[in-house]
Amino acid sequence: MLSKSGFAPRLVAWQRLHGRHDLPWQNTHDPYRIWLAEIMLQQTQVASVIQYYHRFLARFPDVKTLADAPLDEVMARWSGLGYYARARHLQRCAQRVMREYGGIFPRDVEMLITLPGVGRSTASAIAACAYGAPQPILDGNVKRVLTRIFGIEGFPGAPRIENALWTLAESLLPALVANQEENLKTMRAYTQGLMDLGALVCRRARPDCARCPFQEECVAFATGRTHELPQARPKKAKPVRRAFMLVLRSGNAVLLERRAPKGIWGGLWSLPEASNEAELLACAARFGAFGPFTRLAAVTHTFTHFQLRIEPRLATLPACAYAGNCLAGQEQAWTPLCELHQYGLPAPVRRLLTR
Ligand code: SF4
């Protein structure tokens, strides 16, 4: 098991040797440039961001220029990066920094978080990379790295897991020293190291564990669960709709009805259907069948947006009711069970009848 105090020194050493050092926002202490990169990187890959970053800075080299620019021009320079709310927040944020902080981004994470478009992880990245503040970041890459190394179960976006990850991220931070310049260098290497490890080595698909500085202690690697961690967002339970179906038998035949051309299973043959028991009783009465009916085991069928729970009720008429397919026609048919294969039936209805 990896000791928490050993995490940061190893990551920093790895970043200095194997991490990225030539990204355009790495070699500056200007919080404006660091903030701009962090916002652009929120939903976009590094490779796509670089050209936009240069072009944006060429037109808006500082926070005042950005704050004073027409919004249309900001949007135009952002165009192509997507998620345009980020561009609107960007300018509102620049205007707040000008108005409330005299054009200088605050050092304090609590203040940074109040700025438009700046979440906790972005605020921490700005504070760490611009000011050397000992603040943890926790973006998607970092969540992936931490859940794998420490074998953390559960969907990382769930509040309980996310809180636990923040606590873990805080406990892994490098120890501070008296020298402020040294702390700044360490925090920059550490923060960048987390991003680099997630982007270059501990990738979502096919992590390159052979190159990972944490391979020996990584729980996901040791247990062969790199593809399972972090766990995916739990699928939302689909709403369940109930349908009552009448299995009306006469001798060796069953009554089928053609479904309306539109709606689910449009145009297929099926059993008479009702949305509740009372409706089903009325439907059965039309064919001379009166309850009580036998409850058959329910059948569940999953559609894209809901589950259909079919509750079949069996009613039996004398064999003479099925007098040589007397109901045969366009919309209803007494059908011998041995001829079901000739009818286009929905899969769950066929399953129900063949069992
Ligand atoms: Fe990720 Fe593999 Fe490293 Fe574990 S060993 S942190 S899975 S790259």
Distance CA 84, CA 91 (A): 11
- C-beta 207 within 6 A of ligand 1: yes
First to last CA, the chain: 54
> Cα of 222 to ligand 1 centre, how many Å?
9
Query: Is the link from the previous residue into 272 a cis peptide, with omega within 30 of 0?
Result: no
* Among 7, 11, 145, 206, residue to substitute to test ligand 1 (most atoms within 8 Å of Cβ): 145
- pLDDT confidence tier of residue 89, bands split at 50, 70 and 90: very high
> Cα of 62 to ligand 1 centre, how many Å?
39
- Domain 240-354 listed as CATH 3.90.79.10: yes
**Residue 137: pLDDT above 70?**
yes
Q: What are the residues whose beta carbons fall under 8 Å from the beta carbon of 101, sequence distance 6 or more?
A: 111
Query: Atom of ligand 1 at shortest distance to CA of 213?
Result: 3
Q: What are the residues whose beta carbons fall under 8 Å from the beta carbon of 193, sequence distance 6 or more?
A: 11, 12, 14, 15, 19
SS3 annotation, 58-117: HHCCCHHHHHHCCHHHHHHHHCCCCCCHHHHHHHHHHHHHHHHHCCCCCCCHHHHHCCCC
> Cα of 211 to ligand 1 centre, how many Å?
9
Q: Which residue has the tokens 């995916």?
A: 232
Q: Where are the domains of the chain?
A: 4-222, 240-354
**Residue 2: pLDDT above 80?**
no
Give the HSE-up count for residue 217: Cα atoms under 13 Å, Cβ half-sphere. Answer: 14
pLDDT, residue 83, reads 80
- Residue nearest ligand 1's atom 5 by CA: 215
* Among 14, 15, 149, residue to substitute to test ligand 1 (most atoms within 8 Å of Cβ): 149
Threshold 0.75, pTM exceeds: no
**Residue 206: pLDDT above 60?**
yes
More confident of the two residues 244 and 236: 244
- pLDDT confidence tier of residue 286, bands split at 50, 70 and 90: confident
**How is domain 4-222 classified at the architecture level of CATH?**
Orthogonal Bundle (1.10)
- C-beta 152 within 6 A of ligand 1: no
**Region 287-308: what's the mean pLDDT?**
88
- C-beta 25 within 6 A of ligand 1: no
- C-beta 90 within 6 A of ligand 1: no
pLDDT, residue 324, reads 46
- C-beta 145 within 6 A of ligand 1: yes
pLDDT, residue 221, reads 97
> Cα of 205 to ligand 1 centre, how many Å?
11
- Residue nearest ligand 1's atom 1 by CA: 202
> Cα of 214 to ligand 1 centre, how many Å?
6
CA distances, 150 to each of 144, 334, 350 (Å): 10, 63, 49
* Among 142, 150, 201, 203, residue to substitute to test ligand 1 (most atoms within 8 Å of Cβ): 201
- C-beta 334 within 6 A of ligand 1: no
CA pseudo-torsion sign 150, 130, 159, 44: negative
Model confidence pLDDT, tens digit, residues 255-274: 999 888 777 888 788 999 99
- C-beta 200 within 6 A of ligand 1: no
